[in-house]
Amino acid sequence: MKTEIVNPNISNFIESLRDLGYTFEIAVADIVDNCISADATKIQIYTVPKPEITLHILDNGSGMTKDELTEAMRLASKNPNDTRADKDLGRFGLGLKMASFSQCKKLTVISKKNNSISTKQWDLDFISRENQWKLITPELEQFEDFNFYKELKKNESGTLVIWEQIDRYNPEHFTSRIEILKSHLSLVFHRFLEGSDSFYRLSIELNNNSLKPFNPFNITNVATVEKTSEIIKIFNQPITITPYILPHHSKTSQNEWDNLATNEGYIKSQGFYLYRLNRLLVHGTWWGLHKASDAHKLVRIKIDITNKQDKYWGIDVKKSTAHPIPELKKDLKRIINEVTKEGSRPFTNRGRKITDKTITKFWEILPKGNEFRFCLNKSHPIYNKLVQSLPEESIYWLDTYLKSIEAYLPLESIQSQLQQNPHELKQKESLSNEDIDELVRALKKSGLDDESIEQLLKTEIFKNNKRLLENE
């Protein structure tokens, strides 16, 4: 058998490595993973947008020796099938390099351990010119003016990651990327920032501002329903699943409701939230096991796995996509069916109230076989009062107008506004207290017998204003 060595064109290979689909926020989160794996309790991130975009990430973790740093800079420094430490958030040994290369052309890592500071650097332009993977050892003196380097020198241990020649973004618009990064880190690492589940509390600063955790399950609201956790096993590995049903908008403030919607909105934020070692990997997905719907938009299901289960979930190198294996889907479907049935109640219960026989409604549901439509209640006492005072020709035009209102009820627009801006919809303001007072005066002036008063007291208008008629 004849063989020959065919080395890749390194310049082209580098461009391929840079296009693995990382976004800025996902790439930074990958670096934060390394900080956490190094037992850091404080992570500082600083960006410089002009004249050239640069990024600095400093942690106070365990740091690395010179040899450990060289190994960490090696591509594929780990075998993904090797058993990892219980708190290791990595897998492929690619995160530091691939995440960095996706955003910048020059990656410098400076680390301190055992009172010794070491530094290594990948320069992609230099590698392309040399056509070899040559790792640079830069002189430390060139970093003396960096504030984070000064702080690293003071710390007992830690690591500083520097991205230079970030070439994927316009410096003029980079501020928007920082806002996205802030939201992403606050969500992805919220359990570390909270210090929950017996993990130490982590501090993350972004441009000198401490990040606040964003818990997508709104556990501080008493109206949030947290279902009992269930543990299922896949090949003897435990998976903890905890469903949540978020509060209906009537049980939240407008600010709280808007925040919990996330940038994606409630429809796209429903579904599974997959955590590995408290780190959120994937969120807002049903993995094709269920169809997203408005009725289930308050359902969010937390899944906790260990770092020994990646192969059962198809977790990619970016830690931003996952797909459960077929053996898991039966249990996941069962849990979906159970929680969505309960999760739709805040909306279906409210919908049924239109059939409440104790109140005379303005609107009612008119069934017709398997179909139905909304129509105005022609037995309403105010409608009857109006009809009695009109000539027959006017009644015809009134009924035609009301039928037109029924036919062109803007259902899609109503549904859209209820989804997007429920707190801003103030429909009842169409009938003010002054309007009701004027109505009472007109009714009293027209003369009301006891039966008429009893009928009016059952209407929606006087449900909370009974005293206005009862004081006759």
Three-state SS letters, the chain: CCCCCCCCCHHHHHHHHCCCCCCHHHHHHHHHHHHHHCCCCEEEEEEECCCCCEEEEEECCCCCCHHHHHHHCCCCCCCCCCCCCCCCCCCCCCHHHHHHHCCEEEEEEEEEECCEEEEEEEEHHHHHHHCCCCCECCCHHHHCCCHHHHHHHHCCCEEEEEEEEECCCCHHHHHHHHHHHHHHHHHHCHHHHHCCCCCCCCEEEECCEECCCCCCCCCCCCCCEECCCEEEEECCEEEEEEEEECCCHHHCCHHHHHHHCCCCCHHHHCEEEEEECCEEEEEEECCCCCCCCHHHCCEEEEEEECCCCHHHHCCCCCCCCCCCCHHHHHHHHHHHHHHHHHHCHHHHHHHHHHHCCCCECCEEEEEECCEEEEEECCCCHHHHHHHHCCCHHHHHHHHHHHHHHHHCCCHHHHHHHHHHCHHHCCHHHHCCHHHHHHHHHHHHHHCCCHHHHHHHHCECCCCCCHHHHHCC
Higher pLDDT, 197 or 114: 114
Higher pLDDT, 271 or 9: 271
- Pick from 134-143, 166-175, 322-331, 441-450: least confident: 441-450
- Residue with structure tokens 């050239």? 52
- Measured CA to CA, the distance from residue 419 to residue 411 in angstroms comes to 12
**What is the reported pLDDT for 146?**
85
**What is the reported pLDDT for 351?**
42
% the chain with pLDDT above 90: 47
**What is the reported pLDDT for 185?**
97
Residues 6+ apart with CB under 8 A from 348: 295
CA atoms within 13 A on the CB side of 408: 5
pLDDT average, residue stretch 452-461: 73
pLDDT average, residue stretch 291-313: 91
Is 83's pLDDT higher than 60? Answer: no
pLDDT average, residue stretch 32-58: 93
Predicted TM-score (pTM) of the model is: 0.76
- Quickly count: other Cβ atoms within 10 Å of residue 288's Cβ: 9
**What is the reported pLDDT for 71?**
92
- Ordered by where they begin, the domains of the chain are 10-210 (3.30.565.10), 225-349 (3.30.230), 353-421+429-470 (no CATH)
Is 471's pLDDT higher than 70? Answer: no
- Choose from 44-53, 69-78, 314-323 the range with maximum mean pLDDT: 44-53
Give the tens place of pLDDT for each residue, 432-441: 778 777 777 7
Of the candidates 93, 52, 63, the one whose C-alpha atom is nearest the C-alpha of residue 75 is 93
pLDDT average, residue stretch 149-164: 96
Is 459's pLDDT higher than 60? Answer: yes
Is 139's pLDDT higher than 90? Answer: yes
Burial class of residue 289 in the structure, from the number of CB atoms within 10 Å of its CB (0-12 exposed, 13-18 middle, 19+ buried): middle
Ramachandran quadrant class, 83 (left: phi over 0; alpha: psi -120 to 50; beta: rest): beta
Is 454's pLDDT higher than 80? Answer: no
For residue 349, what pLDDT band results from cuts at 50, 70 and 90? Answer: very low
**What is the reported pLDDT for 11?**
78
**What is the reported pLDDT for 382?**
81
Torsion of CA 364, 365, 366, 367, to 10 degrees: -160
Q: Taking all residues of the chain, what is their mean pLDDT, rounded to a whole number?
A: 85
- Measured CA to CA, the distance from residue 151 to residue 131 in angstroms comes to 36
Give the tens place of pLDDT for each residue, 55-80: 999 999 999 999 999 999 998 655 45
Give the tens place of pLDDT for each residue, 390-434: 888 888 888 888 888 888 888 877 777 776 677 777 777 777 778
Higher pLDDT, 466 or 460: 460
**What is the reported pLDDT for 290?**
95
Of the candidates 33, 391, 80, the one whose C-alpha atom is nearest the C-alpha of residue 185 is 33
Written as six digits, the tokens of 446 are 């027209």
